[in-house]
Structure 1
Amino acid sequence: MSAPTDTPIAPVAAPAQAPAQAPVQSSAPAKGGPIDDNDVNHWKERFNDVLSRPGDHINSRSPGGAIGWATHLFDCFNPIDLCLITCCVPCVTFGKVHHRVNKNGNMEGYEPVNTSCLLFCGSGCCGLHWILASMQRASIREKYNLEGNCIEDIAKSFCCGCCNLIQLEKETEHREALLRNGNSEQYKSNTGGMVYPGAN
């Protein structure tokens, strides 16, 4: 057995640490998810307006100079891809129409899963999707000065839900294309917007 030596042991040098790396910055803007506060506020305002004066909405009709619809309710098999998407996931078509009418006619920034889509899907679970669809149809009539009334909106949304959504999608696409081409004279409605009975 060897005797211990008095030679000091050299300290072991700590391994060199790599410099801390800065977090990688993404050039793409962060997305806020499918829930959009503007859409939530839009639907809140629409519901509050309808609930505050239901009689006015039920008895409303289009102004005298309203124009006819360019698309037909039962022309729902053309194009077939829109028909299939709407029959399988009607909430996607509903959200698409809402985006085109209320946000961007060119569909810039559109996401298939959005606030309106989720709201329509949730209301469908309770069997109340026709309420949203009829409200959307009324908004479209008002924006593009189209013929119709609230009772028609409710009947078409309740009895022919898919055909109604397909018509709204095709109609808004057609009307926005006309607006982009500068053909907006036909959409000028009366100064009072929707006409209510007894308002004269």
Structure 2
Amino acid sequence: MGEGQEWSSGFWDCCSPCGTCFLGCCCPCLLHGRTSSRLEDPTLKDDSMMNGGCCLYFLLSYCGFHFIPLMMKRGQIRERFGLEGSGCGDCMRACCCPCCTLMQHEKELESRAALLEGGAAGQQGYKAPGGMQYA
């Protein structure tokens, strides 16, 4: 595994909270959509589970390629927050246990949003990307 911070929750810690676990098992495309929204807006002020991330996950799952959007999202989360892991590990997790992968993504972003709301700006919380600057 690559160097970096540990994830806020373990990979196998996927049974709580019950609502998120249920969503991840029964409607994984919706949970993937919510995670995609949370990556852009950690506080989910404009919560939309039915978005491009949801549709992409649904379409690729229908074709048997559910692991591709999970692997890509995991890489984005790892890169943004400097978390441990690797592309190979992302692929293995996404292929072998998509529900646990979805749960870990959502819980990680949820904990980062809690840090942001709690005013822990000095910690490794969410940092909005800078706007475009023109010369």
TM above 0.5, yes or no, is yes
How far apart are 1:109 and its partner, in Å? 1.3
| Counterpart among 152, 157, 167 of residue 104 in structure 2 | 167
How far apart are 1:128 and its partner, in Å? 0.8
Partner of 1:25: none
Higher helix share goes to which structure? 2
Partner of 1:6: none
How far apart are 1:146 and its partner, in Å? 0.6
> 1:113-192 maps to which residues of 2 (within 5 A)?
113-180=50-117, 181-186=119-124
Letter in 1 for 2:75: A
After superposition, the CA RMSD in angstroms is 1.8
Q: Which has the larger radius of gyration?
A: 1
Segments of 5+ residues of structure 2 without an aligned counterpart are 127-135
Tell me if the contact between 2:74 and 2:105 (Cα under 8 Å) persists in the aligned partners: yes
Calculate percent identity across the aligned residue pairs. Answer: 34
TM-score, structure 2 length as denominator? Answer: 0.85
How far apart are 1:94 and its partner, in Å? 0.3
Partner of 1:197: none
Partner of 1:87: 25
Segments of 5+ residues of structure 1 without an aligned counterpart are 1-60, 189-200
Aligned residues: 125
Tell me if the contact between 1:144 and 1:175 (Cα under 8 Å) persists in the aligned partners: no
What do residues 66-107 of structure 1 show as CA deviations (whole Å, max 9, x unaligned)?
2111101111111111111110000001011111112x1110
Tell me if the contact between 2:113 and 2:125 (Cα under 8 Å) persists in the aligned partners: no
